[in-house]
């Protein structure tokens, strides 16, 4: 049965296009209705003061909407780290069929583009990264079935049936396993292959928690028409879009760079290692704002005392981030945060007394700078509840 070439992520959408704040390589960040989008060229937006063109597109963000948490129900995790809520409906030895939670349309996704499938909500303590699933780890690497009773079977998944999967366990014979008996399926990491394009691509965040990497993005009839890196061509109504971040474009995220120098000092004992795209405790990066709690996919997790120095080589125009104590683990903490550019401290008094509450947005000029240093120091109570998150920390050229 042939699947549709273009899949729609929702059955209906409210009339009228929503507004977005557009961030580009320049200093202007207009808010208005999108009239054109190109990952390579930029975006056009209709504002109350007239049409504006933003070159070097970095991000889109819907004003007043929080970045939702990662999906907590049944969902797939792709090789590129995408998370899409929905359910598996079948497949074969090469691809699985998947239905997105807000659509009746089916997706066909190659098995080597999928890291894991959750057929039921994962436990609350499940790490975000499939590489850290304890039930999937082991030598030699294999496909793994996680049963609802907690048992795990290692072997080879050879296909799907209407009601489950075909599986040959190590040292056993081929058998059919019902999906209703399974909590999750983990695919052999040796054969999981991320598909990242050479040029710019976009990371989408939807209101239902979907995280999806796409390219070939255009705007048509109040929807983004694009191709998911995991395979299907899709349409994303702007009503469902919360944020779009462009990777491999005009911005470079600190979490994708290796610091020139990194120092950690513990208040009593060993220090906490900084972490890319997660808190120091391995959780998603959560920060408070006037609109609620945002969950960032890119950024840094730090803890006092940490000093990170990055080599800028005079290549960037500005540094921007949203900085605050973690919404869950920093509710009564304090930290002293400082930023130095070429060894000179930038006056940021609100960061020197960083406390629980709304995170602080930063945007600073680093044109011609050779070095950027982030200092996360002890507060009045040492390092108690002082996990400091740097949401969306990036350098823009």
What is the reported pLDDT for 322? 98
Query: Which pLDDT tens digit goes with each residue over 70-101?
Result: 999 999 999 999 999 998 988 988 899 999 87
* Residue 1: inside a domain: no
* Residue 137: inside a domain: yes
First to last CA, the chain: 47
Domain-terminating residue out of 214, 233, 249: 249
144 close to 186: Cβ distance less than 8 angstroms: yes
**319-331: average pLDDT:** 96
pTM: 0.92
What is the reported pLDDT for 4? 42
* Residue 158: inside a domain: yes
What residues make up the domain containing 390? 252-396
**55-80: average pLDDT:** 96
- For residue 343, give the CATH number of its domain: 2.60.120.1060
For residues 35 and 46, give the distance between their C-alpha atoms in angstroms, rounded to a whole number: 7
Reported confidence tier of residue 2, pLDDT bands at 50, 70, 90? very low
Reported confidence tier of residue 184, pLDDT bands at 50, 70, 90? very high
Q: Do both 369 and 282 map to the same domain? A: yes
What is the percentage of the chain residues whose pLDDT exceeds 90? Answer: 81
86 close to 75: Cβ distance less than 8 angstroms: yes
255-292 burial string, b = 16+ CB within 10 Å, else e?
bebebeeeebeebeeebbebbebbbbeebbbbbbbeee
Report the number of secondary-structure helices (H) and strands (E) in the chain: 1, 35
Domain-terminating residue out of 174, 191, 208: 191
- How many domains does the chain divide into? 3
What is the reported pLDDT for 102? 65
CA dihedral of residues 27, 29, 30, 31 (deg, nearest 10): -170
* Residue 52: inside a domain: yes
Q: Do both 102 and 158 map to the same domain? A: yes
Q: Do both 268 and 330 map to the same domain? A: yes
Q: Do both 233 and 312 map to the same domain? A: no
Q: Do both 51 and 120 map to the same domain? A: no
For residues 361 and 133, give the distance between their C-alpha atoms in angstroms, rounded to a whole number: 33
Angle at 256 between CA 202 and CA 259, to 5 degrees: 160
């Amino acid at each position: 049965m042939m699947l549709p070439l273009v899949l729609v992520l929702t059955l209906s959408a409210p009339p009228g296009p929503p507004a977005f704040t557009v961030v580009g390589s320049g200093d202007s960040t207009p808010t208005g209705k999108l009239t054109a989008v190109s990952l390579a060229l930029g975006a056009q937006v209709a504002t109350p003061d007239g049409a504006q063109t933003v070159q070097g597109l970095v991000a889109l963000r819907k004003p007043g909407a929080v970045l939702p948490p990662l999906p907590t129900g049944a969902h797939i995790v792709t090789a590129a780290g995408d998370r899409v809520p929905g359910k598996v409906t079948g497949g074969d030895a090469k691809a699985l069929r998947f239905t997105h939670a807000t659509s009746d349309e089916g997706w066909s996704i190659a098995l080597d583009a999928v890291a894991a499938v959750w057929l039921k909500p994962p436990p609350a303590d499940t790490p975000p990264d499939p590489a850290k699933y304890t039930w999937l780890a082991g030598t030699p690497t294999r496909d793994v079935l996680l049963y609802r009773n907690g048992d795990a079977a290692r072997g080879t998944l050879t296909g799907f049936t209407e009601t489950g999967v075909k599986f040959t366990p190590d040292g056993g014979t081929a058998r059919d396993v019902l999906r209703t008996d399974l909590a999750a399926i983990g695919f052999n990491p040796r054969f999981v292959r991320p598909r990242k394009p050479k040029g710019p691509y976009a990371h989408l965040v939807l209101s239902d928690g979907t995280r999806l990497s796409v390219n070939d993005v255009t705007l048509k009839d109040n929807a983004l028409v694009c191709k998911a890196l995991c395979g299907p061509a899709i349409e994303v109504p702007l009503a469902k879009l919360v944020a779009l971040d462009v990777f491999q474009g005009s911005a470079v995220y600190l979490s994708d760079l290796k610091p020139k120098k990194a120092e950690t000092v513990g208040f009593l004992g060993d220090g906490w290692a900084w972490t890319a795209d997660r808190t120091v405790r391995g959780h998603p990066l959560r920060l408070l704002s006037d609109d609620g709690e945002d969950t960032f996919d890119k950024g840094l997790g730090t803890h006092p005392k940490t000093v990170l120095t990055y080599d800028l080589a005079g290549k960037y125009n500005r540094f921007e981030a949203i900085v605050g104590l973690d919404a869950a683990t920093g509710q009564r903490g304090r930290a002293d945060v400082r930023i130095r550019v070429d060894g000179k401290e930038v006056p940021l008094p609100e960061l020197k007394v960083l406390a629980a509450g709304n995170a602080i947005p930063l945007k600073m000029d680093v044109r011609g700078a050779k070095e950027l240093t982030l200092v996360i120091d002890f507060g009045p109570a040492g390092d108690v509840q002082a996990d400091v998150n740097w949401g969306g920390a990036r350098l823009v050229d």
